Amino acid sequence: MTLKDSQNFIKNKTTVDKLLSYLPERKSEIVIEMGPGEGMITAPLSKIYEEGVVAIEVDKTLSEKLKETFCSNKNIKIKNQDFLQYKLPTSDFDVVANIPFNITTEVIKKITQETKLKTAILIMQKETGLRFVGLPHEKSSLISNILQIDYDLDFLTKISKNEFTPKPRVDACIISIKRKNKKIITKKEDFKDFLTLVFTKAKPLLKDALKSAFTKTQIHIICTKNKIKPDTHIRNITFTQWVSLFNVFETYSDKSVKTKTKGLYKKLLKEQSKLEKNHRSRKY
């Protein structure tokens, strides 16, 4: 593991305390810590999750040191493994992680796509965190809306780059991802396809982005009923508004359009996966 691909470790206990203060009152029995490094988060985490902490560290040297440090802690399991290859639990679990900046997207996809994730409290690059959380902290994005189907996301606080060693070039942040108590969308895959259709057309205004799904007259009626201006930028549309627009799409859009929309999100994921494999030549 090179310095370029390594973790930016937290320097002081105050930052760790702040991170752990955001953990929910009702926790899962198991918590997964990704990239424990030297164990600064692991020790206090094991006192909060007495049932078990699974700390996954890809660096063999660090992993061996962690095993020595926590050899007497029976509720801490150290695994020397690539987190992206780790098999997640089939029952509810939480995640606490100081994510290496270069694999943040892959990690988020892994823990949120068809898993039993209950709560994740994560440190990541500030700009990336804002992109995942979306409105009202940052402009809406495809990924922020996809995540909101199953999870509530929140930007919790900024962390100065000075709080890490080695010092990264940008500031970090803490965000939370919490599973929703009830389903908002019943046809999740169709909703994902609809969002993909809109966000990948390179047409920033709502009236233009919806042209492939509705007629001009329909767009006018839809915007009027939902109290949205037709020339609103799609990144200023809230998740709730997208749900309303999707419900109209399901009811009134032409069958041929729906057929063309089917499978768009999975196709996008496949294309992104190829790009990620090409660009990530080394493990973190």
The string of pLDDT tens digits covering residues 55-77 is 999 999 999 999 999 999 989 99
Radius of gyration of the chain, Cα coordinates, nearest whole angstrom = 21
In this structure, is the dihedral angle defined by the CA atoms of residues 76, 79, 83 and 87, taken in order, positive or negative?
negative
pLDDT of residue 6: 55
What pLDDT shows up at residue 231? 94
Which pLDDT score, from 0 to 100, does residue 276 have?
Answer: 66
Name the strand (E) or helix (H) holding 173.
strand 172-179
State the pLDDT at residue 4.
Answer: 42
Per-residue confidence (pLDDT) for residue 272, from 0 to 100: 80
pLDDT digits (tens, 9 = 90+) for 4-62: 455 789 988 999 999 999 998 888 999 999 999 999 999 999 999 988 899 999 999 99
86-108 residue pLDDT tens = 999 999 999 999 998 889 999 99
pLDDT of residue 282: 42
Sheet with 53-56, side-by-side order of all strands: 76-79, 53-56, 30-34, 93-98, 117-125, 172-179, 151-159
* 188-273 under CATH 3.40.50.300, yes or no: no
Please report which helix (H) or strand (E) contains residue 31, including its range: strand 30-34
Alpha-carbon span 108 to 120, nearest angstrom = 10
What whole-number distance in Å separates Cα of residue 273 and Cα of residue 132?
18
Region of residue 202 (phi > 0: left; psi between -120 and 50: alpha; otherwise: beta) = left
Q: If pLDDT is split at 50, 70 and 90, which confidence band does 279 have?
A: low
| Same fold: 9-179 with 188-273 | no
Domain spans of the chain, in order of start: 9-179, 188-273
Fold entry, domain 9-179:
Rossmann fold (3.40.50)
